[in-house]
Amino acid sequence: MLKGKKVLLGVTGGIAVYRVAELARMLIKQGAKVRCVMTNAACQFVTPLTFEALTGEKVHTALFNLTDEREMGHIQLARWADVVVLAPATSNILAKLAHGIADDLLTTMMQVCEQPILIAPAMNVSMWQSASTQKNVAYLKQKNMQILPPVPGILACGEQGAGRLPDLNVIVDALLPLLHSPCLQGQRWVINAGPTVESWDAVRTLSNRASGTLGAYLARWAEAWGADVCLIAGVGTPETPAGVQRVNVETGLEMLVACEKAAQDSDVFIATAAVSDFRFAVSPKEKIKRQNISSMMVEMVSNPDVVAHIAMMPHRPKTVVAFAAESQNHIGYAKDKLQRKAVDAIVANDVSNMGLSRSSGWWVTADQTVALKAAHKSQFAQQIIQKVMAL
């Protein structure tokens, strides 16, 4: 997701520094290049050696370093980065940024920073809620700095309230819109994902192995590239960025209703969800007791074909993309579904991809069949979005 992107971490003095070390590791794992600037206070919590070991890069701490400053190091650091992340951001650093104070390497660097800035504060709840801090935060937002407010929880001091560093995945998700061109801005995308679950009785259900991971990545990337995204999420679909509108559903009928409502007059509808083909004709609200029953006949009825319904409805989306998970004759079945369901394109893949972190397949339209490169589902999602944009 972040391959080749250059992230500059500004680390200030709070107990959440130890979590930022894990953030650095996460960024590198996703392909980013990471450099760190630490304040003196941050070094009291975690040594620079920790971040050097994680990033493989020198950690910058001193403004008056003759070797660095001979080349105007604080300016070069700011220019090197694609994005700057301040985490954990203390009340002190927020005040300094708001009032233009430059008394160490980090604050001096921020004076000349022209790159996108993401700030993740963490502090005592009373400090966060204080009038001066909120005034500083409001000012920094006016300066187009992105601020992720701290989240509620038990704080290091033993108090409870909104003061904890946001979840690291939330911080990573918030970086995406700052790093990628908004080439989908003004478009409305609807994506469905995950399995549906059909109740047999009060306890038992019918479902499948779909995880919803690919659909969640599609929503994440479409939102990062500027689209207004609605994700219709089946049971167990992974979390999505705050900027994605999410509608949780359970059954095939609920999936149809939610998709129909969201997809009207949209630009793109992508149907990754594995909707159960059948549901139980009768679903008792009580648990069916086994007792002495050795066998049982169960009547099933067809669920609606969601993507075909969306493709044929009045005010259909401009582009409708279906998925075809098959165990054999992948391209042949995909071409048949392309005509039968009246969709614009189909991603054909193998059922063995369900539940895995990687995927592969084929992009099938009326004019072409193209193999999609096997990749992690995040990169696979990017390939699909690029194909949709080409339509």
Catalytic residues: 157
Spell out the residues 6+ positions from residue 44 whose beta carbon is closer than 8 angstroms to its own: 13
Could you write out the DSSP letters of every residue in 42-101? HHTTS-HHHHHHHHSSPEE--S--HHHHTTTHHHHHHHH-SEEEEEEEPHHHHHHHHHT-
Structure tokens at 202: 């009060």
Spell out the residues 6+ positions from residue 143 whose beta carbon is closer than 8 angstroms to its own: none
Number of helices followed by number of strands (H, E) in the chain: 15, 20
CA–CA separation, 360 and 376 (whole Å): 9
Q: Quick one: which of 107, 48, 98 has its CA closest to 74?
A: 107
Q: Quick one: which of 257, 247, 253, 258 has its CA closest to 279?
A: 253
Give 77's strand partners: none
CA–CA separation, 143 and 176 (whole Å): 19
DSSP code of 209? S
CA–CA separation, 178 and 183 (whole Å): 13
Q: Quick one: which of 60, 86, 87, 85 has its CA closest to 74?
A: 60
Q: For residue 88, is the peptide bond before it cis, meaning its omega torsion is within 30 degrees of 0? A: yes
CA–CA separation, 262 and 71 (whole Å): 54
Structure tokens at 112: 């000349």
211 neighbors 194 (Cβ within 8 angstroms): yes
CA–CA separation, 236 and 250 (whole Å): 10
By CB neighbour count within 10 A (0-12 exposed, 13-18 middle, 19+ buried), where does 307 fall?
buried
Amino acid at 365: T
Structure tokens at 164: 């904890």
Residue whose tokens read 């050097």: 52
Q: Quick one: which of 179, 181, 255 has its CA closest to 212?
A: 255
